[in-house]
Amino acid sequence: MNPIVSIQGLSKQYRNQRGIRDIRLEIGAGDIYGLLGPNGAGKTTILKLMTGLIRPDQGTVSLFGSDIREQFELGMRRVGCMIESADFHDFLNASQYLTCVARYYPHITKKRMDEVLESVGLYAVRKDKIKNYSTGMKQKLALAAAILPEPELVILDEPTNGLDIEGTVMFRSLVQRCSEELGTTFIISSHMIHELEQLCNRVGVIFEGKLRTEGRVTELLKHNQSLEQFYIQELQQAREAAHSA
């Protein structure tokens, strides 16, 4: 089966010398893929390159067989995303905001918008101004916008930032339901490693701009008690190798 995400030789360097180098990655339909790494390792850069928010120095990103540099609209039309902190027009309410988002997609009904707001726990406050929302509520609204068009691929950058325990449980349930019932593929960058261990079937560890290791969670945990233990060991080995180089 052909991968729906194919990243080949992807590199991007910033003026501060940070960035990513020669990332090669393939993600199949139905995967829930977790990106792990320290702050500044390059996780968000990868997601921005995947969604066309920045341009690579080298390499390619193909979504559903379309190179996004050459066929951006074709590659992205089945993708929903939430990258970094979402920005909103604070004078709108949640229903009005999703109505604006829905204009970019055909055939999204009010019923669908209400269903999405219910699924993220915002239906009861859908008429409240966004300026009165907490950080967690804004995060839920951004997630609602990402899944509104029922995309086949959802790309999420730190989606549980600002969520309380109830919101985190909601997020986990939503991802699992979309994966099981709709076959949605997810790519999730998060510091909530325990959540990724429960959600993801595959993970990759990014360190200093390079994909150090990746694979199925079941395989990576054969000799480790938890994903957290595996992750810490990988970082320690990477730092020792960098120090001795």
Q: How far apart are CA 152 and CA 171, in angstroms?
A: 17
**Residue 200, CA distances (Å) to 70, 77, 193 in order:** 30, 24, 10
DSSP letter at 197?
H
| Contact indicator for 96, 144 with CB cutoff of 8 Å | no
Tell me which residues of the chain have a pLDDT lower than 50: none
157 & 216 share domain: yes
Same domain, 196 and 238: yes
Q: Tell me what pLDDT residue 1 has.
A: 64
Domain hosting residue 196, numbered range: 5-78+152-244
Number of residues written out for the chain:
245
Asked whether residue 24 falls in the same domain as residue 106, the answer is no
Nearest by Cα to 160 from 131, 128, 180, 138: 138
User: Do 17 and 73 belong together in one domain?
Assistant: yes
Among 148, 192, 198, which residue's Cα sits nearest to residue 173?
198
**What is d(CA 122, CA 141) in angstroms, rounded to the nearest whole number?**
8
In angstroms, rounded to a whole number, what is the distance separating the alpha carbons of residues 207 and 186?
Answer: 21
pLDDT tens-digit profile of 82-92? 997 677 888 99
Q: Do residues 163 and 209 share a domain?
A: yes
Contact 75, 67 (CB under 8 A): yes
* pLDDT value at residue 187: 97
What gap in Å lies between CA 104 and CA 238, rounded to an integer? Answer: 43
The pTM of the full predicted model, rounded to 2 decimals, is 0.93
Pair (145, 109) in one structural domain? yes
CB 24 within 8 A of CB 60: no
Say yes or no: 229 and 131 in one domain.
no
What is the Cα–Cα distance from 156 to 163, expressed in whole angstroms?
14
Q: Are both 137 and 98 inside the same structural domain? A: yes
Q: Are residues 187 and 199 in the same domain?
A: yes
CA-based nearest residue to 47, from 188, 172, 193, 153? 188
